[in-house]
Chains A and B, each alone.
Chain A
Amino acid sequence: MRPEQLVISAFGPYAGETTIDFTLLGDHGLYLITGDTGAGKTTIFDAITFALYGEASGDVREPGMFRSKYAADDRKTFVKLTFLCHGKRYCVTRNPEYLRPKGKGTGYTLQKSDAELYFFDERQPITKTKEVTRAVTQLLGLDYRQFTQIAMLAQGDFQKLLLADTSSRSEIFRQLFHTGQYQELQNRLRDQVKKQWAQYDELRRSIGQYLSGISCDPVEGGPMENPEKAARHNELRAELEELKKGKFEEKVIRGMEILDELLREGEQELSDLDRQAAEAEENLAAEERLLEQLARREQIQTEQREREALLEELEPVLRQKEDALTQAKQELEKKEEISSRIRDCQAKLEQFAELDRDLSRQKQMELQIQQMEGSQTRRREKLEQEKRRLTENRAELEDLQTAGEELQRCQNRYDQASRFMKHLEQLTKQHLEQERTLIQLRNQNGTAAQKEEECRAALERTQAALEPLQNAAKEELEARHRMEDMQNRLEQIRQLCQEFSSAKACYQDAVSDRNRKRDEYQHLEQMYFDEQAGLLAETLTEGNPCPVCGSRNHPEPARKSQKAPDKARLQKKKEAADKAQELVAQLSARGGYLKDRIREIQKVPIPEELTDKNSAGAENQSSIPAEQAKTTAEFVRQLELANHLAGIRWKQAAEKKAGWERMQKEEADLRTAYDRLRKQQELQQRQLVSLEGNQNAIQQQLNQVSEEAFCFLKQLDCGYTESGEPGQLLTHFPAVMESLEVSRKRRQIRQKRKKELEHQIRIKETELSKQEQSLTEDAIVLERSRTIRTQLEEQIRTRNMQLGEATREDTAAAVNKFRAAIQEMDAAFSRAEKEWRTCLDQITALRGAISALKQQLEQTGEGNREESEARRLVWMEQKDRFTSRRAERYAANRNNRSIHEAVSRRQTEMERAEQTYVWMKSLADTANGNLNGKQKIDLETYVQTAYFDRILRRANLRLLTMSGGQYELKRQKEAGNKKEKAGLELAVIDHYNGSERSVKTLSGGESFQASLSLALGLSDEIQASAGGIRLDAMFVDEGFGSLDEASLNQAMNALNSLTEGNRMVGIISHVSELKERIQKKILVTKCRNTQGTGSRAEVVSDV
């Protein structure tokens, strides 16, 4: 987001309409907004933030406060910001809510807040404040809170980011680095765990419910006679009642145990009851069976009597049927006769059929024979024709026999001729080429030899010149050393001389001072001594002896003069004098020491060649030793001279050395050139020799070949009688070859024709033989057909004779009549037989049934019916009782069993649900940071720490520079207490004493540095993490006042490095250094003049 133009109207301290053109400030770099206090600097930032988001830049002001109190009533309050984002231009206009005068009438009305975002392409502008804010947030990628923490560091608020706690930092990072999905995951996990817990709980409760349905009846009498068992049962029942009351909380297992026992009991009882019921059943069944048997006996007897009656009826019927059957048999014998007559008629019919067939065959034969005879004659004619042609072809073939050999001979000759020609051509070419190269090479050789000579001469010359300069290097070195030595000594001596003169002056001063002091002292001493008498006189008393003379009379004691010094003063003077004396001694010693040093230096003589022979007193130098003859000053002068000379000598020597080096190089170059040339020369020589050898060989070959060609031509006998010279041969050859070519072609044609003819003849011959064969075959077939024909005629004649007059139809009718008669006879017979048989069967069946019944009767026993009936009733009653009791028990048991199954099923489910709950809970707790005893770091925070670390690394780069290597930010891994959320806390490391402490301990200026670095680090990271958020502009409001000069420099450096590329950073500050350093400014001034109060903003680009 880069602002281009800002229009402020009646906003804050700006009474009128003010336009600020940011494009005048360039497209990157720092600019400063400066002005008096209260002029409206922060308001510019407020205006930008308000235009974008509808809020002020800091926490302090609110949008309702923006209406300018200096503005005229009719001026509207609004802000219009034109800015670039991602290369596109947008314009957002916004006004806050404020009171304005009504259009009509008096009083004020509320102007609602409104906003508009205008696109510069065809899209519709967006209106309504919330919509516009949302659109802007989307465009920029930052919402209001992030903007104020990253791109706009407001007055007093820059510490927000530094001192924020984990949860607010976490929120910011969530937006910026899109970690919202982890939060979502956390929430989902939490929900899932709740659901899982609900499931588990439900299962548990349903189990409880089931168990309450266990049925347990009190013990009755009857089968459960066992008193022990009864007691136990009652116990269980009591316990069960208790548990039911408590709804089986926690006692599910105990409930299951009771159930099991109850089940077992029930089973047992059931089996007992079953057994008893079964017994009763058996007895009942036995009785019933007995009753049945008796009933059956009666039945059988009645049946038997019926059957016997039937039997008597049927017997006479049988006898009737037998008679009918014998009659039918007799009829059947007539059948044979009729059938023989049928046979005769049939035979006759056959004969008729055969006759027809023969007639037809005869006709066929006739036709065939005619056909065959016709074809035979035709084919014979054709055959004759073919034979004649064949003989013609054979005659032609004879002629062409010899064509092949001739062709062969011609071909040979042609080939040879061509070979010769080619060979000759090749050889002559080679020869010419070789000649040419030989000549070239000879020339080259000559020039090379010349060059070699020249080179050798030059080399000798250079070597000669080099001789005398051998020692140049060594000389130069010596000269240089000497010069330096001279220089050093000169320096030293100069210094020493200076020091010596100063020392001498000091010494003299000291001497005079000492003398003075000594005189003073002596004078005082004298006075003191003089006064001794006066002092002594003080102690004199009349009558006491005087210490000096012993008299006891002191008529005139001496008097102390006023100026008498006392001992102390005297002492002091003495000390002063002594000190002066010491000083003198010291200084003289020093003077002596310096002089010695000078003399030492002078001792070392100046080398001969560096003395100037023309100086004064030169004649004396050689004879008198140096230290005595020269005064120091002279020595210095001479030293200077020597210095100068040494310098000159050195330069000379250096030049000589340079010349020598150059010569050496030349010589080396020439040597290499000479060697190269010589080698080349040898090479060329060798080449020449080889080439000449080649040439000779080729010549010989050429001669040989031309001889052979000549012989060949003579052989050909084509009229070539000239010499065997290769050149001439060559010219003649083509003609020869042409003629050979022509004859060869002719011979080829004849050869071809011969082959064709041979082929054709062969084919024809085979054809002809085939044809003849087929003809003979056909003749045979014809003969055979003729014989068949005669046979057939014979056959027809005989048949006709046989048949006589009888016709076909008559015979056929007779046959049919006879057949029908036979059929009738058969039918009658079979009917009679059937009837007889059925009757017989019936009778036998009846007899069998009667005998069976008799048998049965014997089997069944006797008995009394009523008795049996009574017993049966008794058994029945018993059985019913048992069965009903059993049914009850069974029902109860089944109920319990089903409960048991349901519960155990539910139990497994519940266990599974519990397990799932356990691991889900651990997962959710970990993700939400709720683990006991551990830091409260949730998953999202953990992910954000990686980003935070990167941000800190970048921030530390700047902070280290800004604080001169002292401070560095570090992420604290643990929170202050384990109750709050942790993970994104900051601490600062002080490298000067290697300690770590909280961020809140930094001073105002230091925390400004830290906040600035953090904000820059954050903006860097946002840019780098490709979120599509580009921060092209940054705004820093105050804070620089807390920095001293050096830190201010560093902060400027840091901000300036930020503007590399395409960023603009705006600073509000009143620090004067910044005013001088930064040339691009927006000056905000308050005007208080006749036009009213208000502020103005002006862009100054003072490059």
Chain B
Amino acid sequence: MKFIHTSDLHLGKRLNEFSLIEDQRYILKRILDIVLAEKADGLIIAGDIYDRQVPSAESVQLLDWFLTELAGYKVPVFAVSGNHDSAERIAFGSRLMNGRGIYLSPVYQGKTEKIVLQDSFGPVNLYLLPFIRPSVVRHALEEENLEILSWQDAAEAAVSRMEINPEERNLLVAHQFVTGASRCESEEFMVGGIDRVDGSVFSVFDYVALGHIHSPQHIGRETVRYCGTPLKYSFSEAEQKKSVTVVELQEKGMVRLRTIPLKPLHDLRKIRGTYLEVTVRSFYEGSNTDDYLQITLTDEEDVPDGMQRLRVIYPNLMRLEYDNRRTRESRSVEQVQEVEKRSGMELFEEFYELQNNQPMSEQQKKFARDLFREIQEKE
């Protein structure tokens, strides 16, 4: 049985005031093509479908189109809500859509129903676990009076209630932060909590399709995997290669994985150099000047109207930064520690020279020094 594993679509995301909806449309089309080309038995979307709790109108339309296409091709979809989504809004109409093969995770109430698919090797059980946090689990399992204080406890409680048959093949779709994952800029951290879950909680599953982390990686064993975002959502991801993961479940114990790279409509990359270097024709000829760019200028002085002029060549310029002595200095405030503690008298002499273009005379120095001493003694 073959699944395409993707996650963190973040439909409707705006990056540096640019709307990425067109790029997302393009990449969803590409994913659709891949699903059809691979003749996959299902598409997994592991959370963060929308970028906001209340998504924008065009992102809702986009998802609507996507799911309808997939349903039209009779490809089942297995999606869970992530921390950016509103669980209730994602679960809207899920029971109605189940009939057409679109399975969306419900709001977590304590029990996780499994979805059973069949293939030549037997049944495959899919479990959809939305993004949970301790308070949610606590609320759902109130009668049982459990001690759920940490995220780890919450995850363990949820998994233990799933009634899993270890003889059969089991696949989990979840959206959590598993210990050992490495992060990048575009992820959001939880304010005020420690949100890590250890990977051992999922040991009983043959494959765990995870979402939440934006760079593709596996945690511990290869079959606990974050597939990463389909598009680059921050400049810290500029060097990554985005992909979808193809998961093939054969007989129990045999899981084959490979990735298929994704090529976006506009790439996201970084350019560095002086203003003259960056604007000379030979530099940008041949490259995609339409890409979303972050330009780091190394000129020592600010280029007047820099943003405007660079936008003429690179219309999709997102960010302009300067990396020169001045910025390096201002970054390192901690090193520029003590303005040498100068004495009051020294400061006064300096100030006098600055204002009068000549240094103090001896009489003045003596007078000032005596006054200072008097004042300091009085304090």
Contacts and interface: CB of A to CB of B under 8 A. Distances in A.
Contacts of B374: 188
Interface in A908-928: 916, 919-920, 922-923, 926-927
Contacts of B322: 965, 991
A956 B339 CA distance: 18
A1077 interface: yes
Contacts of B254: none
Contact of A943 (B15, B133, B347): B347
Contacts of A185: 344, 348, 368, 371-372, 375
Nearest to B329: A953
Given A923-B367, A993-B308, A1102-B135, A1046 B192 contact: no
B304 A926 contact: no
Nearest to B347: A943
Contacts of B88: none
B190 A1079 contact: yes
A1079 B193 contact: yes
A942 interface: yes
Contact of B356 (A31, A931, A950, A1073): A931
Contacts of A1046: 14-17
B367 A926 contact: no
Given A30-B192, A946-B339, A1103 B133 contact: yes
Given A957-B330, A993-B306, A926 B188 contact: no
Interface in A1037-1068: 1045-1046, 1049, 1052, 1056
A991 B302 CA distance: 6
Contacts of B135: 1102-1103
Given A1076-B53, A1102-B135, A992 B320 contact: yes
Contacts of B14: 1045-1046
Contacts of A991: 302, 306, 320, 322
A1078 B307 contact: no
B160 interface: no
A106 interface: no
Contact of A953 (B319, B330, B351, B375): B330
A1049 B185 CA distance: 11
B134 interface: yes
Contact of A26 (B190, B192, B364): B192
A926 B355 contact: yes
B306 A992 contact: yes
B165 interface: no
A100 interface: no
Interface in B355-371: 355-356, 360-361, 363-364, 367-368, 371
Contacts of B331: 957
Nearest to B86: A1076
A994 B303 contact: yes
Interface in A880-939: 916, 919-920, 922-923, 926-927, 931, 934, 937, 939
B336 to A, nearest CB: 8
Contacts of B307: 992-993
A994 B304 CA distance: 4
B142 interface: no
A1049 B375 CA distance: 49
Nearest to A1079: B192
B319 A965 contact: yes
Interface string B177-211: 00000000000111111000000000000000000
Interface string A961-1005: 000111010000000000000000000010111110000000000
B147 interface: no
A939 B348 contact: yes
B372 A29 contact: no
A503 B201 CA distance: 52
Interface residues of B, number: 53
Contacts of B333: 950, 953-954, 957
Contact of A184 (B303, B327, B356, B375): B375
Interface string A19-55: 0000000100111000000000000000000000000
Contacts of A919: 361, 363-364
Nearest to A993: B305
Contacts of A1056: 189, 191
Interface string B199-238: 0000000000000000000000000000000000000000
Q: Which of A192, A992, A1072, A1076 has the most CB of B within 10 A?
A: A992
B65 interface: no
Contact of A994 (B192, B302, B347): B302
Contacts of A995: 304
A1080 interface: yes
Interface string A1026-1045: 00000000000000000001
A192 B372 CA distance: 13
Nearest to B374: A188
Contacts of B375: 181, 184-185, 188
Contacts of A1103: 133-135, 192-193
A431 B270 CA distance: 85
B113 interface: no
Given A30-B192, A181-B376, A1102-B135, A923 B352 contact: yes
Nearest to A966: B320
Majority SS of interface residues in chain A? helix
B301 interface: yes
A166 to B, nearest CB: 16
B282 to A, nearest CB: 25
B379 interface: yes
B321 interface: yes
A472 interface: no
A403 interface: no
B339 A950 contact: yes
A946 B344 CA distance: 13
Interface string A1085-1103: 0000000000000000011
Contacts of B379: 181
A189 interface: yes
B124 to A, nearest CB: 27
A98 interface: no
A181 B344 CA distance: 9
A182 interface: yes
Contacts of B354: 942
A933 B36 CA distance: 80
A435 B216 CA distance: 75
A494 to B, nearest CB: 10
Contacts of A916: 363
Interface in B87-140: 133-135
Interface string B294-329: 000000011111111000000000011110000100
Given A185-B375, A1103-B134, A922 B356 contact: yes
A128 to B, nearest CB: 28
A1052 B191 contact: yes
Contacts of B360: 923
Contact of B192 (A29, A182, A189, A1049): A29
Contacts of B17: 1046
25 contacts: A26-B192, A181-B372, A181-B375, A181-B376, A184-B375, A185-B368, A185-B375, A189-B371, A923-B368, A926-B356, A934-B355, A939-B351, A942-B347, A942-B354, A960-B330, A991-B302, A991-B306, A994-B306, A1045-B52, A1046-B16, A1052-B191, A1076-B53, A1079-B190, A1079-B192, A1103-B192
- What are the nearest 3 A-B pairs in CB distance? A994-B302, A992-B307, A994-B304
Given A181-B376, A966-B320, 17 more contacts: A185-B371, A185-B375, A189-B371, A919-B361, A922-B356, A942-B354, A953-B333, A954-B333, A965-B322, A968-B330, A991-B306, A994-B302, A1046-B15, A1046-B17, A1049-B188, A1103-B134, A1103-B135
Interface of A: 26, 29-31, 181-182, 184-185, 188-189, 192, 916, 919-920, 922-923, 926-927, 931, 934, 937, 939, 942-943, 946, 950, 953-954, 956-957, 960, 964-966, 968, 989, 991-995, 1045-1046, 1049, 1052, 1056, 1072-1073, 1076-1080, 1102-1103
